[in-house]
Amino acid sequence: MHLHDLTIKKFHDGLLKKEFSAFDVAKGLFDFIEDKDKEIGAYLSLAKDTALKQAEKVDIAVAKQEPVDALAGVPLAIKDAILIEGQPATAGSKILENYRAAYDATVISKLKSVGAVFLGKTNLDEFAMGSSTENSAFKVTKNPHDLTRVPGGSSGGSAAAVAAHMAVAALGSDTGGSIRQPASLCGVVGLKTTYGAVSRHGLIAMASSLDQIGPIAKTVDDAALLFKAIAGKDQFDSTSVDAKYGPELTEPKLEDIKKMTIGVPSEYFVEGLDPAVSKAMEEAMAALKSLGIKFKEISLPHTKYALSCYYIIMPAEVSSNLARFDGIRYGVRGEGHGNLLDLYKKSKSHGFGAETKRRIILGTYVLSSGYYDAYYAKAQKVRRLIKNDFDEAFNPKNGGVDVIFTPVAPTPAFKIGEKTDDPLAMYLSDIFTLPVNLAGLPAVSIPVKQASNAQSRVLPVGFQLIGKPWREADILGIGHYYEQLH
C-alpha cells in the first residue's frame, strides 16, 4: 500500500480485494500527517479516534461481504467552515476558536451515510475571505510543491492536504474561486458546482448567493464520485435543487465528448497573464483538440466589470452574515464591557481579523442609506449582464458552445507574504474564477502541467472548464478524457 498512489477508485478496489483495510489506511495517514503536516500546516484539528472507529465499521462490513459504497472508508479532509457534529468549527477565526459544531452539515450527513471517514478539519482564510490561506487566525498553510509559496485560498488547507497525500480527497467551499484557485496552485482537481446543486446547510456562511460546497480530489473521476454523493435537494436549504444526474456524470462516453464545442473568451487571455500560464493553456488546448473537440472564439464583454461587481455584492452579504457573531450566542466574548454595544464592539474587535473587518466595513458602507442604489443595486444589475453573457455564449440558437475554456489563475503560486500588504493584488488572483460564481455556473480546475518559474522550480498550473447550469457532466467528461491522455 502506497498512500501517494491512492485515489478514491484505487482505494475502493484495494478494499474489496482485501489488499488493505480501511483502518490500516486511516492509521497510516494519521502517522504520515503527524510527520508531514509539521511543514505544510494543512490541518487545524484531527479526529483520529472517531475516524478509526468509522474505518473499523467499514472493515466489518467488508469482512461480512456486505455491499459497500464507492466512498466507504475513504479518508477525507474537510474545510473548517463545514460543520461536523462535536468537532471544532473555527472558520479560521479567533471568534470561533472554542466553538464545536452542534450538528452535521448536510454534505457530512450524506457522506456519513455511505461510510466515508473524516480525518480532520483543514485550514482556511478567515471566514473563507482570501486567496492564499494567509488570512487564517491560526497558521499559514504552505504549498506542498514549494514551501515558500502559498497553496491558494480560501480552501488552501484542503487543497494542500490532497496535494501532499495527507488525504485521499477533500471538501472545500467556493465563493469566488476558493476551490478552483487553490486546486490550480496545488496541482489537484477542484470542482465548483452549479449554485443549488449541493446544500449549503451547515456551511458557515460568507456570501450566501455565491457560496457552494464542492470536492477537491486527485482525479476528475474522484471529483465526480464525491460530487454525486453530496448533490441533491435538501429541506434545510431552500436554494438547493433536485437536479437529476445520470450515469454520464461518472461514466462519460467519448463519442459524446467529441461532439462538443469549447468556447475560448478573448477577455480571459489578456496582457499580464504569466508566461508559464499562457504556455500551459496552449498545451491544454492542443491536448483537447487531439480528442477531436472543436474550439471557437467567443466574447464575454462584461467580464471586465466582474471584479468590481463581486467586491460590492460579496462584502454586502458578508456584512449581513457576520452580524450573528456578537459574543453572546457562541464564540469569543469580549472582556471588560460596560453595556451591550460595548460588548459587541469588544467581541468583534478581538475576534475578527484585518481582512474580515475590511470586508464587513466595505459591505456595511455599500448597503448604507444614500449608497445602496449607487453601489449595491447597480452591482446586482451588472451581475445580471455578466450572467446574460454566459447565457448568450451557451445559447444553441446562436451557434453557442457547450463548455468554456479559461485559465484558473493569472499566475502559478506566489510567495508567502508577497501580496498581503496589497489587498487589490490579492483580489486579482480570483479574476478568472469569480464571474462563474456571479452567474451560478459549474466550473472545474484541472492540472495542466508542471510550469517552471524564474527560479526553475516546478509549479502546477490549472485550466478551467465552465459548463452550462446543471451540466457538471460536460466539464467532468472532458476532464476525464483529458486525464487519459497523460
Catalytic residues: 79, 154, 178
Closest CA to 190 of 208, 211, 173, 210: 173
Closest CA to 476 of 167, 219, 210: 219
Classify residue 39 as exposed, middle or buried by CB count within 10 Å of its CB (0-12, 13-18, 19+). Answer: exposed
Instruction: State the first-to-last Cα distance of the chain, in angstroms, to the nearest integer.
Output: 23
The side-by-side arrangement of strands in the sheet containing 212-217 is 43-46, 117-122, 75-79, 169-174, 212-217, 189-192, 443-452, 458-467, 403-407, 261-265, 294-298
Q: Are 193 and 180 in contact (CB under 8 A)?
A: no
DSSP symbol at 329: S
Q: Are 435 and 296 in contact (CB under 8 A)?
A: no
**Single-letter code of the amino acid located at 159:** A
**Single-letter code of the amino acid located at 142:** K
Rounded Cα gap, residues 119 and 167, in angstroms: 8
Whole-angstrom CA distances from 418 to 143, 157, 387, 423 are 14, 19, 33, 11
Which element (helix H / strand E) includes 53?
Answer: helix 48-63
Whole-angstrom CA distances from 193 to 49, 61, 69, 326, 470 are 32, 32, 22, 32, 8
Alpha helices by DSSP H, listed for 68-142, are 106-113
Closest CA to 184 of 445, 465, 429, 453: 445
**Single-letter code of the amino acid located at 253:** K
Rounded Cα gap, residues 246 and 31, in angstroms: 39
